[in-house]
Every structure is written in C-alpha cells, then in structure tokens.
Amino acid sequence: MTYELGENRYGKSRIRLVTVRRGPDRHDLRDMTVAVALEGDFDAVHTSGDNANVIATDTMKNTVYAFARDRLTGSAEVFGLELARHFASYPVCSRAIVDLVEHPWRRVKTRDGEAPDAFVRSGQHSRLASVTVDRSGGTDVVAGIDDLTVMKTTKSAFTGFDRDRYTTLPEVDDRLMATKVRATWGYRSDMATAADFDFDGVWKRTTQALMESLAAHFSRSVQESIWIMGTAMMDAEPSIEWVRMVLPNLHHWKVDLAPFGLDNPAEVFVSTREPHGLIDATVRRRAAG
C-alpha cells in the first residue's frame, strides 16, 4: 500500500504583541494577537523527517517582533502584508497567511482631558485582519470586527416559520434581538494592494454602516438582518466584494410574572447563552452580466 501527504500547513499561533510609541507629549499603544501559517513544499519533513526546508515557528515569532519595531506604524492590514510578503518570499513557500486580531485600548479620561500615557482596555470589540500572499505575488486581504455584542429592544420579530409536531416556539411580532457580531469582508485586490489604500478609514466607515443599519432596520429574522446590514456595508464602501456574518441568536425570554400576580409588559427578561441559534451567511456583489 502506498501513501501520499495531503493538504498541510504549519505556523505560529497566538503571538502576543504590544507596542508603545513614545512621543514627546503622548504615548500610542497597540495590542495585537498574530498568527502566521505557511503552505508549500514541506513533504520531506512529514514523510522522512528532513527538516532542511523548515522555517522554525520560533523564527516566525521573532520576525513578527522585529518587523513591529519600525513597520507597525499604520493599519493592521499593512503590517500583515509586510509579514506575508516576507514569508512568501521563501523558495519553499507557496503561500503565507497572516491573521491579526487588534485589541483596542482607549485613553483614561481625566478632569484635564485624555491621559497621554494611561489606558483602559476597551471590551467593545476586536478588529480583525487576515492577509494571504502566494508565491506569484497574488494577494488577498480580509478585514472584520469580532466580539461586538449588540441588542435591539424593538423592531425585531419572528413569525410565519414552519411548524410541526416538535415546534413549541411561539410567534412574536416584537422581541429583543441580541447577538455577538463577527463580520468579515473581502476587498478588491486591485484596491487593497494600492500604496495609498486607507484601511483604517474604510474599516471605520464600514463598521459605522453596519451599526447604523442595525439600529435603523426592522428585522423579521436574523437572516434578513445579515442581508440588510451586509448590503448597507457594501453600499458604503465600493472596495468591498463580499461580507460574511456569523451571528449567534442570544435569546432573551420574557419572564412569566403571572404566578406572582404581576403583569409583564415586555420589561423583564431572562438572558440565555446556551443553546443558541447560529446564523452564518455571506452577501456578495453580483458579477456583471
């Protein structure tokens, strides 16, 4: 019997990176978790224990820190492109993938304004970036937002769904809708690789479009909300080719207060996290023609 090696990749995960740029009047803080993965001609290390072509994962970690010294001066996407292009330049590599999660901090507010050198971790969300560069120079850039917990206390319903002998869920035309948003989007490659492409500005406008759409629309299902928010994000940014959202439906059930002689005009709820519905969908621009 003969065997062959299938698809494989390896790399360094959860590289913790913090930088402090020390200006004369204020410090700027960045906090990231970085992962590097490589694909390529790594058959020999698997099948015959030959490590000659192996780039040590410790080298990957060290490269991230060395590049951060003077190259982490702009967006996470640009930093990821620098790293991915470096690793893809190894002859043994066919593709390099760099994933970055940026953890936001905000300045402590004092009576004299924002502190120049004191920060508090902002738990509102994480910023995502993923960069892939292949041997030929082909580039793919994905951005996103994660851990963004949001709630609509009205303008949400769920009615008209299929019912069978196992269905107990009541229909409701006004409910709380809560979710923890993970949204990612892909850029047109010709725009994302342009030297003057403003990743930070696009990210801010895209997430603002998401939030404004979330607040404004009436949701007949989480699925419809993905469609409405995804199209709003692409309307706001022509550089975006697709939007993917993964949304857990974090249920809030109205508590029955009748046993206590009380009514409940949709004011008292119990929050549950498990089990929850999970909706995953991608909205794309339709190809011309």
What is the pLDDT at residue 124?
Answer: 84
Owner of token pair 């929050």: 271
Flag whether pLDDT at 123 surpasses 90: no
Token pair in block for residue 283: 């909205």
User: What is the C-alpha to C-alpha distance for residues 171 and 125, in angstroms, rounded to an integer?
Assistant: 32
The predicted-structure confidence for 267-277, as pLDDT tens digits, reads as follows 999 999 889 99
Q: What percentage of the chain carries pLDDT values higher than 70?
A: 100
Strand pairing partners for 139?
A: 133
By the 8 A CB rule, do 80 and 67 touch?
Answer: no
What is the pLDDT at residue 273?
Answer: 86
246 to 14, 156, 198: CA distances (angstroms): 22, 18, 25
The predicted-structure confidence for 240-273, as pLDDT tens digits, reads as follows 999 999 999 999 999 999 999 999 999 999 999 8
Token pair in block for residue 88: 């893809």
Flag whether pLDDT at 288 surpasses 80: no
What is the pLDDT at residue 275?
Answer: 92
Flag whether pLDDT at 1 surpasses 80: no
What is the pLDDT at residue 246?
Answer: 97
The predicted-structure confidence for 132-187, as pLDDT tens digits, reads as follows 999 998 999 999 999 999 999 999 999 999 999 999 999 999 999 999 999 999 99
Catalytically annotated residues: 12, 57, 251
User: What is the C-alpha to C-alpha distance for residues 113 and 122, in angstroms, rounded to an integer?
Assistant: 18
Side-chain half-sphere of 62: how many Cα atoms within 13 Å? Answer: 5
Provide the CA 39 distance to its chain's centre, in angstroms: 22
Token pair in block for residue 166: 């196992």
Strand pairing partners for 34?
A: 15, 100
Q: Using the 8-state DSSP alphabet, how is residue 288 labeled?
A: P
Residue 44: what are its φ and ψ, rounded to 5°? -60, -35
What is the pLDDT at residue 192?
Answer: 76
The predicted-structure confidence for 68-120, as pLDDT tens digits, reads as follows 999 999 999 999 999 999 999 999 999 999 999 999 999 999 999 999 999 99
Residue 233: what are its φ and ψ, rounded to 5°? -65, -40
Residue 244: what are its φ and ψ, rounded to 5°? -115, 135
The predicted-structure confidence for 200-238, as pLDDT tens digits, reads as follows 999 999 999 999 999 999 999 999 999 999 999 999 999
Over residues 34-39, mean pLDDT: 98
Owner of token pair 């994480």: 126
By the 8 A CB rule, do 248 and 179 touch?
Answer: yes
User: What is the C-alpha to C-alpha distance for residues 13 and 76, in angstroms, rounded to an integer?
Assistant: 16
Amino acid at 281: A
| Range 96-131 burial, b when 16+ CB lie within 10 A, else e | bbbbbbbbebebeeeeeeeeeeebeeeeebbbbbbb
What is the pLDDT at residue 189?
Answer: 79
Domains annotated on the chain, with CATH? 8-137 (3.10.270.10), 147-289 (3.10.270.10)
Go through the chain and tell me how many residues it has: 289
What is the pLDDT at residue 31?
Answer: 97
Amino acid at 195: A
Q: How many CB atoms sit inside 10 A of residue 73's CB?
A: 12
